[in-house]
Structure 1
Amino acid sequence: MIVQQYLDRIQYQGEVSANLQVLKKLMKAHLLNVPFENLDIHRKVWIELDAEKIYNKIVRKNRGGFCYELNGNFYQLLMHIGFQVEIIGAQVYFPAQKTYSPPTSHMALLVHLDGETYLVDVGFGDFVSEPIKIGTATHHTDPCGQFKLTQTDSYHYLVEKYNETEAVFVPQYIFTRIPYLLHDFTHSCYYQQLSPDSHFTQNKVCSLLTSTGRKTITQSKFIITVNGNKTEELITDEQEFNLLLQKEFNISLN
């Protein structure tokens, strides 16, 4: 990994050292410039949990990825800068079934700074844009919404996001502080790419945080949210999809 090359990819400028302000700026820069996307799955391009291959895809080829790629790559950057960081697994909540996925179905990070621990996640789509401190405070105000982090027992922590329409906090995922290695997610990564039950195989998506909201493209819609106001544009064919992908996300699949 070439740190400056990675920083250029996320358009980060400023101090490069292991402190909280830098962590916040790095996380925001990453979310604003590296999209959450599953396009390779629909192109039948196999995703391997290999640090160099992920770096090459995201940094050198100007692509995005899903959680294992995004958080796996960000982990490497933070390590090279000097942060004390660990990979953790998380169980994602499925509202329709009111159940949680297996422990390695999502990857996130824990960063330890000045005696405090922060949840960091650049790979969960429409989620937090700043680190969440794990401590006595449960409610966290973020530019992307209201979040709640609670310890449910001796090992597990629950992250919830406030749904303004229904006026309730909705579970996002459960995690533990047990550290993992990148290859521990291999089986889950295979499942997400191959299973018809995986939501990654059911619909193409590319989504990116913006300074005023978010923009997302699926195989049938282009969705823009600006200051809470959402507009949708239908996508009629693959050519239109690829043109929007190039224009809005600077991604070319050729």
Structure 2
Amino acid sequence: MRPEIDLSAYATRIGHLQPLHPDLATVQAIVRAHVAAIAFENLDPLMGKPVDLDPLAIEDKLVHRGRGGYCFEHNRLMAEVLRAIGLTVTPVIARVLWNRPEDVPTAQTHMALLATIDDERWLVDVGFGGLTLSSALRFQAGMEQLTPHEPYRLLQGDGQWRLQAKVAGQWRPLYRFTLQPCEDVDFVVANHYVSTHPDSPFTRELMVARTVPEQRLALRNREFTMHHRDGRSEHYTLGSAREIRSVLERHFMLVLPAHPALDRRLAALSA
């Protein structure tokens, strides 16, 4: 028996005030509101704290405690929300290609969702950091699809699907996946590696992102960037742990945990 997500609390958290129906309009509205309200962040792995994928633990963290999370948390929460409103959801596990050559083997370290809406499949992904989808995509190969931010497309070949985004006029690969069924343990194993292994970037670097209607906000260690939809970008180098905290709270709307390890890691970033 699956745990029951508190839909009312979730809707309040993301600022969605309309009724929740199992239709495309509702899903698109939820996705837009979710990525604007709940930041992508890796504070727990950075502090050496394992990430708990129990749905109620994720709900407590992202909905009730004002935190964000990374792909396994965002998309696990989204899967439970979509199921709770009556949709069929299938998680897929993906290999990240962003900023890597497409022929380089990569581990399965990303989670995305296939949702069936009105008998049609759609890709939903609210957890891909700085290029998180701000709308669901029709699961159809080769078609350029507009979103409130970048255009995206899905490509199919050799038994695999690839997601690409058009960035600065160029199609860039984000990740690839198959439709082979996944078990929860597949995500548990991937999450354990991502959140605890010393080679994982999530344990070594601060990575935070938030997608709002006219901007994408990104923080990588001390580098804070505001990407505007008109193509302009503003870059700021933060000089102290206090400045980093201020940006996390003000721009990413995070309630920061009172944890000495966080103070140490932020201080080390600004050293």
User: TM-score band, normalised by the shorter chain?
Assistant: over 0.9
User: TM-score by structure 2 length?
Assistant: 0.87
> Separation in 2 of the partners of 1:39 and 1:24?
28
Aligned-residue CA RMSD in angstroms?
Answer: 1.7
- Distance apart, 1:120 and its partner CA: 0.4
- Partner of residue 64, structure 1: 68
Q: Residue 94 and residue 71 in structure 1: after superposition, are their counterparts in 2 closer, same or farther (change >3 A)?
A: same
4+ runs deviating over 6 angstroms = none
129, 144, 150: which one aligns with 1:139: 144
Q: Deviations over 1:10-35 (max 9, x none)?
A: 11111211001111001111011011
Structure-2 change in CA distance of 1:147 and 1:87 (3 Å)? same
Structure holding more strand per residue: 1
Equivalent in the alignment of 1:148: 153
Residue 212 (structure 2) aligned to one of 190, 210, 213: 210
- Code of the residue aligned with 1:233 in structure 2: it is Y
Structure 1 residue corresponding to 2:198, chosen from 196, 203, 224: 196
Query: What is the one-letter code of the residue matched to 2:221?
Result: Q
Q: How far does the alpha carbon of each residue in 1:90-123 deviate from its partner, in whole angstroms, 9 at most, with x for none?
A: 1111534542422x31100000122210000000
2:87 partner amino acid:
F
What is the Cα deviation at residue 184 of structure 1?
A: 2.1
Letter in 1 for 2:215: G
- 1:230 counterpart (226, 230, 233): 233
Which deviates more, 198-207 or 129-138?
129-138
Worse-matched range after superposition: 217-226 or 202-211? 217-226
Task: Identify the match of residue 243 of structure 1 among 243, 246, 266.
Answer: 246
Q: TM-score, normalised by structure 1?
A: 0.92
Structure 2 partner of 1:44: 48
Show the counterpart of 1:23.
27
Change (3 A) 1:211 1:168: closer
Aligned ranges 1:53-202 → 2 under 5 Å = 53-98=57-102, 99-102=104-107, 104-125=108-129, 126-135=131-140, 137-153=142-158, 155-164=159-168, 167-202=169-204
Q: In structure 1, what residue type is equivalent to 2:136? A: P
Corresponding residue SS for 1:95 = coil
> Structure 1 residues 243 and 135 mapped into 2: Cα distance closer, same or farther (>3 Å)?
closer
**Do the aligned residues in 2 keep the contact of 1:92 with 1:100 (CA within 8 Å)?**
no
Unaligned runs of 5+ in 2: 259-271
- AA paired with 2:139? I
Distance 1:6 1:91 in 2: 29
Give the distance between the partners of 1:38 and 1:124, measured in 2 at CA: 12
| Cα separation, partners in 2 of 1:94 and 1:216, compared to 1, 3 Å | closer
Alpha-carbon distance in structure 2 between the residues aligned to 1:245 and 1:188: 26
In structure 2, what is the equivalent of residue 3 of structure 1?
Answer: 7
Tell me how far apart the structure 1 counterparts of residues 136 and 101 of structure 2 sit (CA, whole Å). Answer: 29
Which amino acid in 2 is paired with 1:130?
A: S
Q: 1:217 to 1:168 in 2, by over 3 A?
A: closer
Are 1:94 and 1:101, in contact at CA under 8 Å, matched by a contact in 2?
Answer: no
Of residues 47-56 and 63-72 in structure 1, the stretch that sits farther from structure 2 once superposed is 47-56
Question: 1: CA distance between counterparts of 2:237 and 2:203?
Answer: 20
Partner in structure 2 of residue 219 of structure 1: 221
Shift of 1:128: 2.1
